Chains A and B, each alone.
Chain A
Amino acid sequence: MRIAITDRTAVELSAAIRAGQTTAVEAAEAMLARIEEQDKLYNCYVTVDGEGALSQARAVQERIEAGELTGPLAGVPVAIKDNLCTEGMLTTCSSKMLGNFVPTYTAEAVANLRRAGAVVLGKTNMDEFAMGSTTETSAYGVTRNPWNPDHVPGGSSGGSAAAVAAGECYFALGSDTGGSIRQPAAYCGTVGMKPTYGTVSRYGLVAYGSSLDQIGPLTKDVTDCAAVLETIASYDKKDSTSIQRQDTDFTSALVEDVQGLRIGIPGDYLGEGLDTQVKAAVLQAAEDLARRGALVERFDLSLVEYAIPAYYTIAAAEASSNLERFDGIKYGYRTKEYAGLHPMYKKSRSEGFGEEVKRRIMLGSFVLSSGYYDAYYLKALRVKALIKKAFDEAFAKYDVILGPVAPTTAPKLGASLTDPIRMYLGDIYTIAVNLAGLPGISLPCGVDESGLPIGLQLIGDCFQEKKLIRAAYTYEKIRGPFGKATAAEGRTTKAEGRTTEAESRTTEAVSRTAAGGWTETGQRVLQEAGQEQEGHRHE
C-alpha cells in the first residue's frame, strides 16, 4: 500500500525521493496545492513563494539525482516563521511595521536548511514580533487551528505549527522565547523543540528577547525533529552567543529505550489552573514511560510562580531595546504625515506596531528607566539566577523533567487577548526553560473531550537534547500514530484515575540509580565549547 505523498514525514519523504518514488518537485507541488486549497481558511502563511519553491525544488532534485544531496531533508518542503530573515523574500514578523521589508541576508538556520536541500515554501504567520501566545496579534489575520478552526493554533509560532498540522509543509521552523515553539506544537498536535540556548545561531532571527530566543523545529514526529535539529544546529561566528558543540548528531538518540531514565515531575506543574484532562494525559504519559523502565517521581521544583514576572521583565526590557531600530528611516513603515523628527518616530511606531507590542515596549522601557533598573531589571536577573540554580539542583536528581506544556488545550479564538495577565499565565510551564537556557520538547500525548490535542513537555539539562529525544522517541512508540485521523477514531485519553499508580510505582527505584556522570558531562561539553572558542581566538 502506498502512503500518500502528503502523509509522509520529512525523513520518509526524502527517502522516497532518493529511492526515486517521488521527486522534490512533486512534493513541493503537493504542498503548494494544499496551501492553495486550505490556507484561505487556516491562514498559516504570510508569504507563499510558489515559483521560488518550485525552481529550488528542481535544482535540488538534480543535485539529489547527481548524488550531491543525500541528507534526510534533501528535497523536503519547509515553512519558515516570518521572523527569520530570508534574502529576497518578504520578512514581516507579522507586523505592519515590516510590511515591505525584504532582507539582504538569510538567517543562518535557514541557510543551513537550504544547504541540506530543504525547499522553502514561504513564511508563516505568527504573533507580531513573536509577542503573544495565540497568533492573534498578527497584523495579517489570525491563524486557525487545523484541529478545530474555531480555536487558536497557539503562538507565537502558530503559523508554523498549524502549517505542519494541516499538512501544508513537511516541517517548519519556529522561534521560542517563552514557549513559542512548544505551546503551538502542543495546541496543534505536532512535535516542537526548543534547543539549548546557543545551539542554533540567532543570526537573522529578528530579536524579541535576545537572551531567551532560540530557533527550533516543528515537525510531524520525533524522528523529523531530531533530523531537523541536527541540520540547523551550528556554531556560527556571526552570533557571539553561539556555542560550539560536538554532540549535535541528534538522530543518534532516536533509540527506543528509557530503562533507568530518571524522570521528575514538578508538583508545581500539576497544581491550580491545570486542566484535569491535560493533567490526566500527562500523567498517563509518565506512567507509560515508567512501564518501560523509566524511574518517575514527583518533586518540588520551587520558584515556578516567580518565573513569569521575571520572564516578562527581562523579555520586555530586551524587546524595548531590540525594537528601537524600527523607526521609519532605514526600512519598514513610515507614517505619511509628520511635523519633524520626533513626531515622525512616534507616529510611525505607534501606527506600525500593534497593541501587544506597544504594551511590552512600554513596560520594558519603564523597567529599564532611571530609578527602576535595580528594582525591576536587576531583580529579575537575580531571580533568573535562582531559577537556573533550582533547575541545576533538579537535574542533579533527574535526567528529564516531565510536565504539561500549557494549562489547557487550545482556547477559542478571541478568548485570550482581553486579559494580558491571564494570557501570560498560560506560559507558566514553558518560560522557566528559556530563563535557564534549557532544551525542551513538546509532543502530543492525547486529545481532550472536544478533540483538541494535549501536549507533553520534556525538559532536559543544558546540552542534553539527546536524552529528551530518546525519551520522546520512546514515548512516541508507546503512544502510536497521532494525527487528526487517528484521534477521530476515538483514541482519546482515558488516563484519569490511573495516575496514582504511576506515581507510587516509581519513587523507590530512583534512589538506586547512580547520581553522577551526566551533569558533569553537560558541563564538560560546555567547557569544551568554551575552549574551542578560546582556541579559535588564538589561532
Chain B
Amino acid sequence: MSKQYETVIGLEVHVELATKTKIFCGCSTAFGAAPNTQTCPVCTGMPGSLPVLNKQVLEYAIAVGLATNCEITRYAKFDRKNYFYPDNPQNYQISQLYLPICRNGSVEIETEEGGAKKVGIHEIHMEEDAGKLIHDEWEDCSLVDYNRSGVPLIEIVSEPDMRSAGEVIAYLEKLRLLIQYLGASDCKLQEGSMRADVNLSVREAGAAQFGTRTEMKNLNSFKAISRAIAGETERQIDLIESGQKVVQETRRWDDAKGESYAMRSKEDAQDYRYFPDPDLVPVAVSDEMLERIRASQPEFRNEKRRRYKEEFGIPDYDIEIITQSKHMADLFEAATAICGQPKKVSNWLMGETLRLMKEKETDAQDLRFSPEHLAKLIALVDAKVINGQVAKEVFEIMFEEDVDPERYVEEKGLKTVNDEGALRKTIAEVIAANPQSVEDYRNGKEKAIGFLVGQTMKAMKGKADPAEVNRILLTQL
C-alpha cells in the first residue's frame, strides 16, 4: 500500500429506552417473557388498531438530547418508514424523518492521544423496535415473536466525525454513560439494548471529499465493532487500490468469520416512502416541559468527579472507576450516606467488588447488593462482630444474592468469638499440638507466629479476631 488512507466513520446508535411500556401501546417491555405474551393489536399490526405516544419516551428522548447538547425540535412529527419484513408487523415502522425530536448536538470524547475531540450529533429520533425472528432448525422456517415489537428506541445519528475504532469506542462509551446516568436505558450491547451501525468510508489522506460509504450492521460488542472497522477499512482500500469502486450498500458483519457480506436483494428496494403518520398528531415541546426535563437532569460524571474529590476526598483512581457506572456511583453515594465512611465504601468497591466483577463477568450496572447491606457489613467489621476474612466471605454471598449481612452472620454463626477464656483454651491446645513451631519461634523464627495464628484461626473456624489471637499467643509463648 503506497498511499495513505483515512477512515471516516459515522455511527447510527439505537438505544432501547427503559420505559415500562411500549412506545405506542400499553404492553410491558419486560425482558424474557414467553413469546408473544406481551403483545396487543397495536404492536402486532392488527387492522383498526391505532398508536398513542408514550409520554415517557418523549421525555427520555429530550433528556438524551439535552445531555448531548442538541437543539430540541419544538414541533416534531412521526413518519412512517415503509418496508416489508416479518419482524415489522405493520410493514411500516413508525419513526421520524422530517422533524426528528433532536438535532445538531455533540459530545466530547477523549482521543487515544489524550486530547479532546467533539463528535457531532446530526439528529436523535424516536422510533419503534421490531419483533424477533427465530430460525426454526427443524422445519426450515422462521418464527416471529412480537414481544419486542414496539419497544421504544431512540436512534442517535452522529456526523461522520470519527477517524478510528478507538474514537468510535470512546464515543459509544460516552453515550452509554450519559444515557445510563439519565436512567434512559441500560445500554447493553450484548443484550441489544444498545446497537450500533457503522457507516464507514475511506479516502486518501488530505482529500476534501468523502469516499463512498457502506453501512455495517450486526455489531454486538465493542470488540466486534473494532474488528469490523478494521475489516471494512481494509476491504475498501483493497477495492480502491485494485481500481474497483466501493458500492454504497448495507453489509452484515460476521464476527466469527471476521468478514462482512452485502445484504442486497432485488426485493429490498431501499425506497422507504416516508410520509407523516396520519394516525399520530404532532408533538409540540413547550417551554415548561423543556425546563422541567432540564431541571431534572441528573448530576453527570464530570460534576460527580469534582464533588467526590471535594466532599469525600477519595483517590482520583477510585473516583474514575466508581463514576464509570451510574449504578456504582449510586451505590457509593448511598452506602456512604448511611455509614459516613466514604473511604471504606470505596475500598469495598475497588477491592472485592472489582475482583468479583472480573471473576464472575458482571457489569457494574448489574451489581445486586444494596447500599444498606454494604453499610451494614462495614459496621459489622468496625464493631469487630466479624473479622475481615469473614467479611469477605459474607460479601461474596451478598454479591451473588444480596443477603442481609447481619442476619447471615447470625444464622451461619460467623460472629467473632470474644470469649477470651475460650480463645486461651484453644491457643493452649495449638501450642501443645505444634511444639516444633513453638520451638522455631523461640529460636527467633518470627514467621512461626504466623503459622500458629493460622492454626488457631482454623481451630476457631475463622471466627476470631486475628489481632487478638496474635496478642494472646505472644503472651503465652
Contacts and interface: CB of A to CB of B under 8 A. Distances in A.
Interface of A: 83-85, 91, 93, 98, 101, 103-105, 107, 202-207, 209-211, 237-241, 317-318, 320-321, 324-327, 329-331, 341-342, 345, 365, 368-370, 373, 377, 537
A138 to B, nearest CB: 17
Interface string B66-82: 00000000000000101
Most chain B C-beta atoms within 10 Å of own C-beta, residue among A91, A101, A202, A240: A240
Contacts of A211: 278
A93 B278 CA distance: 21
A496 B91 CA distance: 54
Contacts of A101: 47
A238 B52 contact: yes
B211 interface: no
B82 A206 contact: no
Contact of B50 (A238, A321, A341, A369): A238
Interface string B257-269: 0000000010100
Contact of A105 (B41, B82, B273): B41
Given A83-B48, A203-B48, 18 more contacts: A98-B47, A103-B47, A104-B41, A104-B46, A207-B48, A240-B52, A240-B53, A318-B275, A318-B278, A325-B90, A330-B46, A341-B86, A345-B84, A365-B273, A368-B274, A369-B271, A370-B273, A373-B275
B405 interface: no
Given A105-B41, A324-B90, A317 B48 contact: no
A318 B82 CA distance: 11
19 contacts: A91-B47, A98-B47, A103-B47, A104-B41, A104-B46, A211-B278, A239-B50, A240-B52, A240-B281, A320-B273, A321-B80, A321-B273, A324-B82, A325-B89, A326-B47, A330-B89, A331-B46, A370-B271, A373-B273
B144 interface: yes
Nearest to A209: B278
Given A368-B273, A369-B271, A377-B275, A240 B46 contact: no
Interface string B143-166: 010000000000000000000000
A368 B45 contact: no
B92 A207 contact: no
B51 interface: yes
A97 to B, nearest CB: 10
Contacts of A207: 47-48, 279
A85 B47 CA distance: 8
Interface in B52-104: 52-53, 55, 80, 82, 84, 86, 89-92
Contacts of B41: 103-105
B48 A107 contact: yes
A495 B264 CA distance: 67
Nearest to B85: A341
Nearest to B90: A325
Contacts of B47: 85, 91, 93, 98, 101, 103, 206-207, 325-326, 331
B185 interface: no
Most chain A C-beta atoms within 10 Å of own C-beta, residue among B82, B274, B275: B275
A369 B274 CA distance: 8
Contacts of A370: 271, 273
Nearest to A84: B48
Contact of B267 (A83, A93, A342, A368): A342
A372 to B, nearest CB: 9
For the complex, would chain B's binding face be called helix, strand, loop or mixed by DSSP majority? loop
B279 A241 contact: yes
- A-B CB proximity, top 4 nearest: A324-B91, A368-B273, A211-B278, A210-B278
A203 B89 CA distance: 18
Contacts of A326: 47
Interface in B266-288: 267, 271, 273-275, 278-281
Given A210-B278, A368-B273, A369-B273, A240 B45 contact: no
Most chain B C-beta atoms within 10 Å of own C-beta, residue among A98, A327, A537: A327
A101 B47 CA distance: 10
A240 B84 contact: no
B44 interface: yes
Given A369-B273, A370-B271, A373-B275, A105 B50 contact: no
Contacts of A91: 47-48
Nearest to A85: B48
Contacts of B274: 368, 373
Contacts of B82: 320-321, 324, 368
A331 B280 CA distance: 24
Contacts of B45: 325, 330
Contacts of A202: 50
Nearest to B265: A342
B92 A321 contact: yes
Contacts of A203: 48-50
Interface string B276-302: 001111000000000000000000000
Interface string B288-329: 000000000000000000000000000000000000000000
A204 B42 CA distance: 11
A330 B281 contact: no
A328 B80 CA distance: 21
A244 to B, nearest CB: 13
Given A85-B48, A369-B271, A329 B278 contact: no
A237 B281 CA distance: 13
Contacts of A327: 84, 86, 91
A211 B277 CA distance: 9
Contacts of B86: 327, 329, 341
A105 B84 contact: no
